[in-house]
A and B are shown apart, each in its own frame.
Chain A
Amino acid sequence: MKIKQISVFLENKRGRLYEALKVLADSKINIRALSIADTSEFGILRMIVTDPEKAKEILENNEFTVKLTNVIAMAVKDKPGGLAEALNYLYDANINIEYIYAFVEKSGEKAVVVLRTENLDKTISILQDSNIKLLTWDDVLAL
């Protein structure tokens, strides 16, 4: 149930985001989801892409610092309170979220939420017990 996310260290420098994305585009790697954590000096670009291993290789060949991290992708109802409900289960279980980002799938019925917590295995079992749909890698590719 864990999904591979690729993270790239970016200096706050003109053109760096573009360069990273250009490298992926040139290798025909499609980005399913993306977020950027930014501070005043650097950013971390986090992405779900179609071929993470290959993306890592080509980004590294182009001198980017890259890391593959396991995350969870869950589907929540695209309506008010959909995400809050899911997070409530984690709150009750005392699980801290490291980061989270979301996008809406094409049909528009569900929102897909990517999250990383301090304990992924425990998070997976809690969400599954609460009947929250978790996406497999195949689900992600089909988005």
Chain B
Amino acid sequence: MFWNKEIECIDEEKLREKQLERLKNTIKRAYEKVPYYRKKLNEAQVSPDDIKKLEDIRNIPFTSKADLREVYPFGMFASPLSEIVEIHMSSGTTGRPIVAGYTLLDIEIWGEVMARCLTMAGATKNDIVQVAYGYGLFTGGFGVHYGARKIGAMIVPASAGNTRRQIEIMRDFGTTILACTPSYALYMAEVAQEMGIEPTTLKLKAGCFGAEMWTEAMRTEIEKRFNLNAYNIYGLTEIIGPGVAHECSEKKGLHVFEDHFFVEVIDPDTGDPVYDGQRGELVLTTLTREGMPMLRFRTRDITSIIRDKCACGRTFARIERIRGRTDDMIKVRGVMIFPYQIEKAILEVQGVEPHYQIIITRPQHLDEIEVMVEMSKETFSDEVKHIENLRRKLEKRIEDITGIRVKVTLVEPKSLPRSEGKAKRIIDKRSLHD
């Protein structure tokens, strides 16, 4: 189902033309209205007039979270405050928060892209959409709300929390579409069961889940628990909020609404573009935002671009499910690897939730990775050859998944450090002075 078939299936050539025109306008607007951008572009010796083709975007400097923090609160706004009708904010776990300002037109665009998302999930005006993302400074609640209102669906603005009431509402109102974080969906399934309500008996047919990283395994679990179709939604406050990309019924990657957002994937170390299909950091540029144009924003999210034609008929490029954060990425011998890949390999071989640590060294000129894996009770054998075999299997599986040969060392249980929050998985001992 399409919300705006004409645009969503637009001829590729026309799309690029539209993008170029909008990109030029956006860069011009940013340059003229936002002193911060003007300074950055001047420093990079780029003038908005230099943008002749889409590839020229590569001459525009990146914008980072740090840039946005520096201009807190309103320094990125390209419209006078009198034209800004709404503010959202990303929680600043590190340093100052990031503020996003929306004009009426921005809110209109937000509703449009969110309407496309919800329609991809099967929503129509006959549906009841329960928004269990938080309403407030967080973009989740309002974003879905605006999209559902555009479609004309019945909105239940439940916001996050009060889980028992959420479930009663779903049962009593007959909610058909659920929007929340995937982990909250799984939690709701558990609470429903505690309440004696079998989640599959609810009328839910689809869910738009996002705002956190999740896996295919979680999708399968959510779909089974609720008997619904679980879709992946992507977005971020700096760009607009939810509604940057969403999965179609094929569930093979998220279509980016390219008429509003320009998508690039770069090598996070060099800043150079990577080939389609290759993983790197997602970089987004808004093409239509008035209140806060965003030029080449580095999302720190790891994904790849899929440009093959999608069976659903949409011409918009897709990004694969977010695979990690650049903060977690390690580059070894020029190859990007992520802790989750190693975790997956160990899990497959050992069959239990692994405790591991990745140590990177550069003894001579070549990077070496050692993966310390805690021996589990289940796999311990008192024969050396079995343990050696286990070690080799782990090495092989990790190499299969990451493409990198590693050395696995088996260590005693509980010998690797545990931390309260995020475990310290990577120790990089490479000296950068050689």
Which residues of A are interface residues toward B (Cβ below 8 A)?
5, 7, 9-11, 16, 37, 39, 41-42, 44, 46, 60, 63-67, 69, 98-99, 116
Contact = CB atoms under 8 A, between A and B. Distances in A.
Contacts of A9: 375, 380, 387, 410, 412
B45 interface: no
Interface of B: 375-377, 380-384, 387-388, 409-415
15 contacts: A9-B375, A9-B410, A10-B412, A11-B412, A11-B415, A37-B384, A39-B384, A39-B388, A41-B410, A42-B387, A44-B384, A63-B412, A63-B413, A64-B412, A69-B382
Contacts of B384: 37, 39, 44, 99
Nearest to A10: B412
B382 A46 contact: yes
A65 B380 contact: yes
Which secondary structure dominates chain B's binding surface?
Answer: loop
A42 B414 contact: no
Given A63-B414, A65-B375, A65-B377, A99 B409 contact: no
A41 B409 contact: yes
Contacts of A42: 387, 410
Contacts of A65: 375-377, 380, 412-413
B416 to A, nearest CB: 11
A7 B409 CA distance: 19
Contacts of A69: 382
B350 to A, nearest CB: 13
Contacts of A99: 383-384
Contacts of B410: 9, 41-42
B382 A44 contact: yes
B163 to A, nearest CB: 37
A23 B64 CA distance: 54
Contacts of B414: 63
Nearest to B387: A42
Contacts of A7: 380, 382
